[in-house]
Amino acid sequence: MHIVNVTCGIAAAMALACAASQPLSAETFAERVAPCLACHGEKGQSENPEVPSLGGQQAPYVLIQLFMFREKQRSSLIKKEDQMIEIMNEMTKAFTDDDLRTFSDYIAKLPAPKPVEDAADAARIAKGNTLAQQHRCAFCHGTDFSGRETVPRIAAQREDFLVKSLREYKDNTRKGYEATMAEVVQALADPDIVDLAYYIARFR
């Protein structure tokens, strides 16, 4: 993906956020958002493997991601009946600009996900914390990892999704809209990725 195309995509998506919105009726919106909640969690916390929790996510970030899915600048493949389907591209292909705003605003108001509740391995938590500090995760994502504007919330995100995303950034199969993440993860060995995800998923 060419950087210029992605940059134009960001500008276009952010312009949408500033435009007037025509809200969907409550009944229509409930029907349209139901498939989203079925995968990503009705109360903001995903229970499906490698599917991100979206509760409390930054609305501008969600808007950009939905725009990128609609414009096929980003894809999210799932396997269904021995076929790979670009599920998010299919879900968003008919979205209007107003839909993008409505859905992103709704998602941002869902409750933030809760961290993993288990007897955490103190050594792995310490290792993850050290890695987060070394690679300055808080510089972009905030000291509480709640994100800001176009930077996503990662606190208490699904551990398997975090591992998947970091690996995809490292092997360049996940395209972001700027190169920071790809640059950061290049210095991470795979065990580091696993420990960092373990820590962030349990961050409180």
- In this prediction the pTM is 0.85
pLDDT for position 72? 92
Maximal C-alpha separation, the chain? 51
3-class secondary structure, 182: helix
Q: What is the mean pLDDT of residues 29-50?
A: 93
SS3 of residue 1 by DSSP: coil
Helix, coil or strand: residue 186: coil
Q: What local confidence, expressed as pLDDT, does residue 6 receive?
A: 44
pLDDT of residue 24: 58
DSSP-assigned letter for residue 73: S
Identify the weakest region by mean pLDDT among 4-18, 111-125, 168-182. 4-18
Nearest-angstrom CA–CA distance, 127 and 93: 41
Mean pLDDT for 136-154 is: 96
pLDDT at 44 over 80: yes
| Buried-exposed string 96-127: b where 16+ CB fall within 10 A, e elsewhere | ebebbbbbbebbbebebbebeeeeeeeeeeeb
Q: CA–CA separation, 150 vs 18, rounded Å?
A: 14
Report the range of poorest mean pLDDT among 46-60, 70-84, 180-194.
Answer: 70-84
Q: What is the pLDDT of residue 26?
A: 61
Among 15-19, 133-137, 165-169, 195-199, the range scoring the smallest mean pLDDT is 15-19
Q: Which of 192, 149, 29 is nearest to 99 (CA)?
A: 29
> d(Cα 158, Cα 42) in Å, to the nearest integer?
15
Percentage, residues of the chain above pLDDT 90: 73
The two three-digit tokens of residue 203, written as one number: 């961050």
- Please say if the pLDDT value at position 103 is more than 50: yes
Per-state percent for the chain, helix, strand, coil, to nearest 5: 55, 5, 40
> Above 60 in pLDDT, residue 1?
no
Confidence of residue 18 (pLDDT cuts 50, 70, 90): very low
Least confident of 48-52, 72-76, 126-130, 142-146: 72-76
Whether 159 has a pLDDT exceeding 90, the answer reads yes
Place of tokens 């996940």: 174
Is residue 200's pLDDT more than 50?
yes
Is the per-residue pLDDT at 82 higher than 80? no
> What letter would DSSP give residue 83?
E
75, 173 contact by CB (below 8 A) = no
Give dist(CA 37, CA 202) in Å, integer. Answer: 23
The CA dihedral of 41, 43, 44, 48, to the nearest 10 degrees, is -20
Is residue 57's pLDDT more than 80? Answer: yes
Residue 20: pLDDT above 90?
no
